[in-house]
Every structure is written in C-alpha cells, then in structure tokens.
A = this chain, B = another copy of it.
Amino acid sequence: MIPTRKVADLPTPALVVDAEALDHNIETMRAALPGAKLRPHVKAHKCTSLARRQAEAGHHGFTCATIRECEGMVAAGLGQDLMLANEVLDASRLGALVAGGARVTLAVDSVETVDAAARGGVREVIIDVNVGLPRCGCPPDRAGELADLARERGLRVRGVMGYEGHVMIVEDGAERAAQCRQSMELLVAAAADVGGELISAGGTGTYDCNPWATEIQAGSYALMDAQYGRQGHPFRQAVFVLASVISSAPEWSVADAGLKAFGMDHGNPELPGSDVWFCSDEHTTFSPPRKVGDRVLLVPGHVDPTMAYHERLYLFSGEDVVDTWPIDLRWW
C-alpha cells in the first residue's frame, strides 16, 4: 500500500485543489445546467483529469480556447463534441483531429476564418457573433450571410455563439442579468438568420441569468477565484496556492509564491484574514506577520492564467493529498 501523502509535506509553492469543494461545485452546476445545457470551458483549468470529472457529471460537450486544448482533450478520450470558441487562421491540426474521428466545431467570424476552416479540413462551424465585448465575433447583422458563405464552402453550420464577457465582471447580480439580456437579444436575432441547433454563450458570471442560450460555456465555476467569489454564486473556492512563510519582519511576512504562480490581471491573490501588500517573482508580502515555517493558502485573483503557470495540481481532502493531476492542456 502506498503511504498517504500529507498536504503538510508538499514542497511549496504548490497548486492545491480542495476535493470536496470541487465536487460541490461540479454537482451544483450539474443540478442547475444538466447534461448538454452546460458545455464546460476547459481554458479555466487546462486539466483533462478535471474535465473527466465534468464528463462523469453528464457534460459530454466541451469548450476550448486553443488548438492544443482540443488536441489534449481528444488524446484524453474526451473529443466527442469539442467547440473551439476562438478564431484560427490555420485549422489543419483541427482537421487532423476530425479526420481521426473527433468532433470539432470551430468558431468563425469572417471570410478569412471561414476559408481557413474549409481549407483545414474542419467540417462544422459556429458563427461567432459580437454581443458587446470588443473582441472577436462578426456584427450581428452579418451573421446570416457568413453562415451562407460557410455552407457554400461545404461546412455545416451548427448555430451561433456570442460571449458576453463584458458582463461577467459586473458584481451586482441584477445589473449583470440586465446586461446579459441585452447581449442575448442580439444573439437570438442572429440565430434566427443563421439557423442551426446551437445558441452557445455565457460563463460562470451569467450561468443563472441566461435562459436564451441553449448551452452555457462556463469554466471558472469548478475551481473559482477571488473575483468570481465576490459575485455571490453558490460555488466554493476550490483552488489555492499553498505557500510557506520564508521570512518575517515585525510588520510583515513573506510567502514563497509570487508572480510566477498567479495570474495577476485581476490583482493580487488574497489571503483571508490578512492584507496582501504585493507580489514579486517568487514572493507574496502580507500582514499581519506569521511565524517562519507557517503555511498559507492563497486565493488566486484569476483562475485561468493561474492554472497556466503550473505543471500539476494536488487534489486534497482534509490533510491528505488524494491525487495528482497534470495541467496538461497548456501552451498552444
């Protein structure tokens, strides 16, 4: 029998996931959006072992942000219905996945990306519609003609997608719901022009206020982060960076996790009950001080770019490490 590994024995910094919180989050979302109502976005965790848990909960379609995420999901046997919710100019690697028996639906928003899909051997596309976030997506009133073009190129059009990303970060729930409705009115109108069976949209911030989408592309709900934690959703913080206090002064302490352990675009990680001052490459300074050798669980500000920094995560239950999962969908 392999001796149980203890969280207390992990070298730091270490990316750790609370198994009970993860189970709670997956079950809570499954109850709200069962089966095909949810197309979990793997960019939020980049981990096929975690995606397998989501598949076991009944969600067999997945959303990806990169070609490599698609390749990794197929390699893990999770390629029944992948959507690359992003534009690409060279779809040949996706075409190879399709030729191998995987189902990959590619987002397109321009003549160029429709051509790339057809040239690369992808057979199914979804029309990406701009619903207010200044990013990808064609204007809503252009969606129909783009679908016609795709069909002319021999592609099957599965419907429309539109990411209301500008709405996700609205902290007030009622305001978030109102803005989501505005975005989805644009998407539903485009869907009428495009046809197809899918209206794919949404995320963790709008999973409970977007009845217009036929499927929600939420990803962060499984692990959560400090920003989504402020929105009042029923999901628990599941991912942390475990760090050791390596230095203490009368007014502060320094933990051994920093800029290379945390996505920083949403600000510093949080340490409940403490005040985080700043991060350096391998340090987080915080107060009040603790003893050298103490261990702390830091909450990432933004889960997606945090995951992309780490080789693996340690799944823990209480004091025990119960599994180790590679973060195997990183890079491009």
Interface residues of A (CB under 8 A from B): 11-13, 43, 65-66, 86-90, 109-110, 112-113, 130, 134-137, 139, 165, 244, 246-249, 251-252, 254, 256, 259-260, 263-265, 277, 279-283, 285, 292-293, 302, 304-305, 308-311, 330-332
Query: B134–A277 contact, CB under 8 A?
Result: yes
CB-nearest residue of chain B to A258: B305
Residues of chain B within 8 A (CB-CB) of A285 are: 134-135
User: In the complex, which of the residues B134, B254, B259, B277 contacts A136, with contact meaning CB atoms closer than 8 Å?
Assistant: B254
In the bound complex, CA of A168 to CA of B251 (Å): 23
Residues of chain B within 8 A (CB-CB) of A88 are: 246, 256
In the bound complex, CA of A256 to CA of B86 (Å): 9
* Min C-beta distance of A276 to chain B, whole Å: 12
User: In the complex, which of the residues B86, B264, B310 contacts A246, with contact meaning CB atoms closer than 8 Å?
Assistant: B86
Residues of chain B within 8 A (CB-CB) of A260 are: 304-305, 308, 330
* Min C-beta distance of A109 to chain B, whole Å: 6
* Min C-beta distance of A288 to chain B, whole Å: 13
Residues of chain B within 8 A (CB-CB) of A89 are: 244, 246, 292-293
Query: A110–B247 contact, CB under 8 A?
Result: yes
Q: What 10 pairs between A and B have smallest CB-CB spacing?
A: A136-B247, A87-B246, A264-B265, A259-B305, A260-B308, A112-B292, A65-B282, A264-B264, A281-B304, A311-B331
